[in-house]
Amino acid sequence: MGGASLPGPLDGPQRGSQWIDDGTLSRSRTPPPGPVRTREAPAPDAAADDARYWYSPAYKVAVDVPFAVAPGMTWDAFWRLVYDNANAALQKQADLMLESGRISAAEARQLVDGRNELLLRIRRRLSPFGELYSEILKPARSLKSFEEFMAHKGTIEGVLRSVGKTRAVVDRIGVVSRVAGPASIVLEITLTAVVIQQAAPEQRNRVAAREIGGAAGSVAGGLAGMWAGCAGAASLASPTLVVPLWGEVSTGGACLVGGLLGGLGVGWFGRQLGAAAGEGAYDASTQMSDFRWVMP
C-alpha cells in the first residue's frame, strides 16, 4: 500500500485551522468554532436602534396626537382633585355636626354657601374647555342656595348629608386624566429630545426650532379645539345649551366627546403650523445674523 496520508486540501494547512474529532465523518480541516460575525464588522448599537424606534413615524404620530389634549386635561384634572378634597372636608365637617346633634340653620347655610363659592372659584381656574364642560353639567345660575336645598331635602339633616357630594363620572374622568395626561407629556418631551439629538449637527438648531414650535402649536390648537368641539357638539345635541348665545343642556356627554375630537384634530393642525412657524423663525434669524452692511 502506498504511503499513507490523511486526505485534506492540496494547498496546505490553513492558518487557524485544526483537525476535528476523528470520530466524525468529515476528514477535512475546518476552522475552530467562533462567532459568524467577522472581526471587522461593528457590534450592533443598541442606543442607535432605540433612537430609530423612537424616531419612527408611527411612534411619533402616536405620541404627538394625544399630546394636543394632554396639558388641558391634566390641568383640569388636578383642579378637580383640589375640589374633591375640599368637598370631602366640607362633608366631614357636616358629618361631625350631625353626630354632635347641635345643628343650626346658620351653620348649614354657611356650609352650602361655602360649597358654592368653592365651586365657582375653582371653575374660574380651569381651561376654557373645563370651564365650559363644568358650566354645561352644572350651570352657575342653577347652584342651589340653602333655602332651595331645604325645599328639596326637607330637613337640615338631609342638606348636610349631601352638601359634599360630587359627580362620580367627572371624578373618574379626573383620575384617568391625572394618569394619562402627565404620561403623554413626559413621552412628548422625551421624543422631542430624541429627535433633536438625532439630527445632524448642522441641522440640530433648526430641528429644535421646528419641534418646539410644533409642540407649542399643538397645545394652543388643542385648547382651542377642545372648547370649539365641546360647544359645537353640545349645541347639536341640544338646542338649549348654556353657552353664549344658546341655552341649557343637562348632560356633558356630547361636550366631552366633541371636545376630545376637536382638540385632537385642531391640535394636530396647530402642530403643523407651529412647526412651520418655528422653522421659518429660525431661518429668518439665521439670515439676519448672516447679513452684513456693505459700506460704499
pLDDT digits (tens, 9 = 90+) for 110-164: 888 888 898 899 999 999 999 999 888 888 888 888 888 888 877 888 778 777 7
Question: Residue 3's pLDDT is what?
Answer: 55
- Report the pLDDT averaged over residues 207-215: 93
Please give the single-letter amino acid code of residue 67.
Answer: F
pLDDT at 201 over 50: yes
pLDDT digits (tens, 9 = 90+) for 24-65: 555 566 666 665 554 444 555 555 555 555 567 778 888 889
Residues listed for the chain: 296
Question: Residue 54's pLDDT is what?
Answer: 55
How sure is the predictor about 212, in pLDDT bands with cuts at 50, 70 and 90? very high
- Report the pLDDT averaged over residues 161-175: 82
Q: Quick check: 163 and 90 in contact, CB under 8 A?
A: yes
pLDDT at 245 over 50: no
Radius of gyration (C-alpha) of the chain in whole angstroms: 34
**Residue 156: CB partners within 8 Å, gap ≥ 6?**
103, 105, 108, 150
Domain ranges of the chain: 61-278
- Report the pLDDT averaged over residues 204-208: 91
pLDDT above 90: percentage of residues in the chain: 31
Average pLDDT of the chain to the nearest whole number: 79
How sure is the predictor about 218, in pLDDT bands with cuts at 50, 70 and 90? very high
